[in-house]
A and B are shown apart, each in its own frame.
Chain A
């Protein structure tokens, strides 16, 4: 069975008097442990598609199946639990909690995910992940003093520390220069491969495509290209 599957997914929004079809019947499936890059012109519907898969907005018709279970049929509370335990998110900006230290950001995610780890195990896990993103020296720092790249590293660590099944990333490197973007991608690769996390990533940056196992191109709400690298 595929990890994630969409069946004839459609999204229509009301824009004033006119109905706009943002997604026009998308049929895709994603295999466990792979990194998929989603590319396409601005306004082609990439973010909309990603947020629907991530359980953050509803579909107009069609199905989203996670390991065979329909997201469309789930209640708000079921979706919340799913997002807390099975999904991780990284966005263009880090969106860290301003009043928590680097270390506390990660602990909070373990809390939200209702992690089965003991207190001691959590500490160890946070320590290990901070080591992996090379932020141990900054573990007691608040976000306001971190650089953009450092913040994004923490955001990625936060998105994967609870070992979700899926990581959703919407232009995670868009606010960084190319050197830092590479570092961030290396990090995503390292962290997701280690825990067998399936990644879906929207990007505008051609350079990032070499980290992907598969590249899907969207245009005007449809898939126009789907190649495995």
Chain B
């Protein structure tokens, strides 16, 4: 006899209240996780989209990219040695569009490489978000030194420090910032060798060293974990309260000779049916939210992340319900008989 199903059918209200709470909490978690991921993209998709590898910075820069200036000879050595290495630089700045409106951008330039947009002198390739601001191909922008830059194209998802990236030719970059030294060199090999005078960091370390990135991600990750823990406690408390009311019944059933394993299976089946359906529904809603969210909202939920979160929720629910299952194991039939009616 399927006791779990029978009980859920009888106590529909009770179980649907719990299911809707689980639904709301997991939906909230999915959305916040999607926002965390979206903000991370918004903050540093320029770096996130680069291949995993080793990033070299000048060692006197103390791992701060915009203080780094790599010696030209070292740059040439590395680039000559590793064919697919790229040297690049990033500086925050701004341009004026054709309506004289100021747009913050992150100027990026690089040596010849597939990882970055390559731009001719006098031209600029912008992140696609500026297209929504009304910038079009062929527009003439002015930089802070009143030099003209013609928009040659748009690139998908290239953001840095929440600003759209503007790819420049090395010569134009040098004209603005007055240096031909690059800040970083990327070697697409995670175990690349140490080089004297240069610091080597991984992509993740580079991301973490970006000022706002770490703070933002830590806060959001913390919220996600809190929500997961809360939902686990919710399961534990809910099943605990339900079990306390049912201790007498469990005792009688045990006295009658029902196996403890049958009772445990009942609790687990209830938990699985309930949280499983709530979480699947929440995942579907989060996905709908993702497609319906306004473009300006940084929301990026990928399915692998969603599956992981859903699994964590299930595991946490399992642990939560198991805490109260231990109570069932301890129920003495005799105690229950000596108590009153259930």
Q: Does B341 contact A (CB under 8 A)?
A: yes
Taking a contact as CB atoms under 8 Å apart, the answer to whether B6 and A112 are in contact is no
- Knowing A98-B249, A99-B6, say if A109 contacts B337 (CB, 8 Å): no
CB within 8 A of A83: which of B7, B10, B255, B340?
B255
Taking a contact as CB atoms under 8 Å apart, the answer to whether A56 and B337 are in contact is yes
A51 to B259, CA, bound (A): 19
Chain B 218-261 near chain A by CB (<8 Å), digits 1 or 0: 00000000000000000000000000000011001111111100
Taking a contact as CB atoms under 8 Å apart, the answer to whether A98 and B342 are in contact is yes
Taking a contact as CB atoms under 8 Å apart, the answer to whether A95 and B1 are in contact is no
Taking a contact as CB atoms under 8 Å apart, the answer to whether A83 and B337 are in contact is no
B289 CB to closest chain A CB (Å) equals: 36
Q: Does B11 contact A (CB under 8 A)?
A: yes
Taking a contact as CB atoms under 8 Å apart, the answer to whether B342 and A99 are in contact is no
Chain B 326-340 near chain A by CB (<8 Å), digits 1 or 0: 000000011011101
Question: Which chain B residues lie closer than 8 Å to A104 at the CB level?
Answer: 1, 6
Question: Which chain B residues lie closer than 8 Å to A89 at the CB level?
Answer: 252, 255-256, 337
**In this complex, what residue of B is CB-closest to A155?**
B252
Q: Does A132 contact B (CB under 8 A)?
A: no
- Knowing A56-B334, A85-B257, A112-B256, say if A95 contacts B10 (CB, 8 Å): no
Taking a contact as CB atoms under 8 Å apart, the answer to whether B337 and A91 are in contact is yes
Taking a contact as CB atoms under 8 Å apart, the answer to whether B10 and A84 are in contact is no
B337 CB to closest chain A CB (Å) equals: 6
Taking a contact as CB atoms under 8 Å apart, the answer to whether B11 and A99 are in contact is yes
Question: Which chain B residues lie closer than 8 Å to A95 at the CB level?
Answer: 248-249, 252, 336-337, 341-342
A57 to B254, CA, bound (A): 13
Taking a contact as CB atoms under 8 Å apart, the answer to whether A81 and B341 are in contact is no
Q: Does A111 contact B (CB under 8 A)?
A: yes
Taking a contact as CB atoms under 8 Å apart, the answer to whether B342 and A83 are in contact is no
Taking a contact as CB atoms under 8 Å apart, the answer to whether B258 and A112 are in contact is yes
Question: Which chain A residues lie closer than 8 Å to B342 at the CB level?
Answer: 93, 95-96, 98
Question: Which chain A residues lie closer than 8 Å to B338 at the CB level?
Answer: 47
Which residues between 71 and 116 of chain A lie within 8 Å of chain B, taking CB atoms? 80-85, 87, 89, 91, 93-100, 104, 107-109, 111-113
Which residues between 293 and 342 of chain B lie within 8 Å of chain A, taking CB atoms? 333-334, 336-338, 340-342
A108 to B263, CA, bound (A): 13
Taking a contact as CB atoms under 8 Å apart, the answer to whether B1 and A107 are in contact is yes
- Knowing A98-B10, A99-B11, A111-B1, say if A51 contacts B256 (CB, 8 Å): no
B252 CB to closest chain A CB (Å) equals: 4
Q: A84-B258, A112-B253, A112-B258 are in contact. List 20 more A-B contacts (CB 8 A).
A: A47-B338, A54-B255, A56-B333, A56-B337, A80-B257, A81-B257, A82-B257, A83-B255, A87-B257, A89-B252, A89-B256, A93-B341, A93-B342, A98-B249, A99-B7, A100-B6, A104-B1, A107-B1, A112-B257, A170-B337
Chain B residues close to A by CB (< 8 Å)? 1, 3, 6-7, 9-11, 248-249, 252-259, 333-334, 336-338, 340-342
